[in-house]
Amino acid sequence: MRRPGVTDMPEAPDRFPRIALVGRPSSPGLDEPLARLAAFLGARGHQVVVEAETAAQVDGAAFASVPAAEIGAQADLAIVVGGDGTMLSIARRLAALDVPMIGVNQGRLGFLTDIPLARMESSLEAMLAGRYVEERRTLLDATVTRNGGQERALALNDVVINRGSLGTMIDCGVDIDGRPMFTMRADGMIVATPTGSTAYALSAGGPIVAPGVPAWALIPVAPHALTHRPIVVDDTTTIRLTVIRGRDAAAHCDGQVRFPLAEGEGVTVRRAAFTARLLHPEGHDYFAMLRQKLHWSETPDRLRGPSHDA
């Protein structure tokens, strides 16, 4: 018999008993959705921790915090509240730890963070009960060699080599599996994963590559010769991008990690040894998502909005 004044604690759920929350850096509206999310998860019996940088932006005293590097040891799932940039950043850290991630969209398009804030609790209720779709996304492993040493970084979207602030084009060499492919003069070169094919690569004229296709897309950025066109290669290939001529060039991973490059230096790109685990709501359809985000089903008059004619 329950004693008077004693409230039953919810039992720990069998699925994802420990959940880490990660928020968008410097987001002014982060407190309210994080508090909602923590309360919702606590009521279901989940143990909740908040990634340390996220906790520092909100009322950290209200949450148990954990460094991002320790999420794999202290959580069975990460829920990311933010935009795709937030998901890219945490995915690079968690992929090697094999921690699944759910994205709640607080940004704009949200190709990776596909749950709207307005439906956060209802969507998560179903997913935490087991009604979800799991998807694994490949990552790029980028290595820069210079001064006798190596620097490495991962990318879920893309690795880009481009010109710097001086504004002049660079001459870039592209090798595939140690064989010369071409040399071009351009603003830069993008190596995109299928995930990244809807990001910078898309704006540069590259193809959209479905997530399950084992391929990389190579897209020249504003090439001087119009004969340099995007090409798709097998994701088992090793790609080498070299700055042959050009000052202030750099390599970028997901637009968040930067390596300055001098003439003769470059970056070697290959498939990473692990993948990012994304969980989507039940019934998730990649092509339906593209139709919605890219307005493929909209006519020009509907895209413009209501008419203001008299």
Residue with tokens 């470059």: 266
Place of tokens 């704006």: 203
Burial group, residue 246, by CB count within 10 angstroms (0-12, 13-18, 19+) = buried
The CA distance from 210 to 198, in Å, is: 10
CA distance 23 to 34: 8
Looking from the CA of 303 toward its CB, the CA atoms found within 13 Å total 9
CA 258 from centroid of its chain's CA atoms:
16
Structure tokens at 196: 């990244």
- CATH architecture of the domain formed by 139-272: Sandwich (2.60)
Under 8 Å between Cβ of 146 and 259: no
DSSP character at residue 236: T
pLDDT by position in tens, the chain (length 310): 334 443 454 566 778 999 999 998 777 788 889 889 999 999 999 999 999 988 887 765 567 899 988 998 899 999 999 999 999 999 999 999 999 999 999 867 789 998 999 999 999 999 999 999 999 999 999 999 887 789 999 999 999 999 987 778 999 999 999 999 999 999 999 999 999 999 999 999 999 999 999 999 999 999 999 899 999 999 999 999 999 999 889 999 999 999 999 999 999 999 999 999 999 999 999 999 999 889 897 766 665 666 544 3
Is 59 among the catalytic positions?
Answer: no
Choosing from 84, 141, 158, 254, which is the catalytic residue? 84
User: CA 48, 54, 55, 58: dihedral to nearest 10 degrees?
Assistant: -120
Looking at the structure, give the CATH architecture of the domain made up of residues 18-130: 3-Layer(aba) Sandwich (3.40)
**The pLDDT value given to residue 60:** 55
Domain with CATH 2.60.200.30 in the chain: 139-272
* CA 9 – CA 169 distance, rounded (Å): 63
Instruction: In the chain, list all ranges with CATH 3.40.50.10330.
Output: 18-130
- H or E element that contains 216: strand 215-221
Backbone phi, psi, residue 290, to 5°: -60, -45
